[in-house]
Amino acid sequence: MICIVGPTAIGKTSISIRLAKAFNTEIISCDSRQFYREMKIGTAVPSDDELAQVKHHFIQHLSIFENYSVGNYEKEALNKINEIFETKNTLCLTGGSGLYQKAVLEGLDDFPVVDKSIREKLKTTYKNEGIKPLQDQLEQLDPEYFKTVDIQNPHRLIRALEICIGTSKPFSLFINTKKTSNRNFTPIKIGLTADRAIVYERIEQRVDKMFDSGLLKEAQSLYEYRNLNALQTVGYKELFDHFDGKLSLEEAKSEIKKNTRRYAKRQLTWYRKQNDIKWFEYDANIDKIIDYIKTILPVK
């Protein structure tokens, strides 16, 4: 399982397509933002040309109106992976959602059951007071997890806080506590990296391209559904605030860039803790990556 990781806008899609072609295989996406067909522009879904070059799975296969969890994804992804491995020796896994990648490679952690009323209270807080109180509370109760979680995602914040409150222990204490049985494939993790200035420049360019491609119109079409979990993500929430009169268009665009930079930083924090990633510069010669993969898992 060739796993392509790295911060948003680093070029994972392009590299994964080139590797999939080189190894004559297919791509499993673990980018949870790209699951939803209504969110094409704001999630930087691969272009039609890119999708046509290699067979992709778990790209725009859901509607924002469907309830879908990382547990659902784990089961469906493993079924598809096992199916593909019946005829292929290698497979590519790519995307920026670290939790979803972890679900495929290792299985989900085992968390205690807590009183459901805690979640309802947290949801009420978010509805009445916004996301800031949730961020502040998580930073206080679990500063370690706060460093890696997407703090703009209320669903993730509420999930962590309900465990913190319900157990009186940090959410991070329960991470890596239980894994499923060993997977029947060998992961090869390839990380793409660049100087921070380059990452930030690529983010700026991507956001500008999104607006040129019609992000504003896409967000307008989704505005009435803004409370759905799928839409609690960077690129849409800021524009919803613009539609509510809280931000000018330029301020919303600036916030999208700022929050995307923060997201990239958190992604890197997550990946840097993994010692089994082989890092390459984002513009490295593809042959170097291919040669490295062949030394780990020779392919005829």
Please, what are the domains in the chain? 2-108+180-296 (3.40.50.300), 116-174 (1.10.20.140)
Q: Supply the pLDDT for residue 280.
A: 98
Residues in the chain, pLDDT under 50: 180
State the Cα torsion 101-103-104-106 to the nearest 10°.
Answer: 110
Q: Supply the pLDDT for residue 179.
A: 55
- What is the helix (H) or strand (E) element at residue 123, kind and residue range? helix 116-129
Q: Supply the pLDDT for residue 298.
A: 61
E strands, the chain, in order: 2-5, 27-29, 56-57, 92-94, 188-193, 277-281
d(CA 31, CA 16): 13
State the Cα torsion 291-103-78-10 to the nearest 10°.
Answer: -40
State the Cα torsion 175-176-180-182 to the nearest 10°.
Answer: 150
d(CA 210, CA 82): 35
Q: Supply the pLDDT for residue 300.
A: 53
Per the structure block, which two tokens stand in for 84? 């593909």
CA 283 vs CA 14, 188, 205, 227, 288: distances in Å? 11, 19, 16, 39, 11
d(CA 268, CA 135): 20
- What is the helix (H) or strand (E) element at residue 257, kind and residue range? helix 249-272
Q: What is the pTM of this model?
A: 0.84
Q: Supply the pLDDT for residue 109.
A: 79
DSSP letter for each residue of 188-248: EEEEEE--HHHHHHHHHHHHHHHHHTTHHHHHHHHGGGTTSGGG-STTTHHHHHHHTTSS-
Q: Supply the pLDDT for residue 92.
A: 98
Q: Supply the pLDDT for residue 152.
A: 86
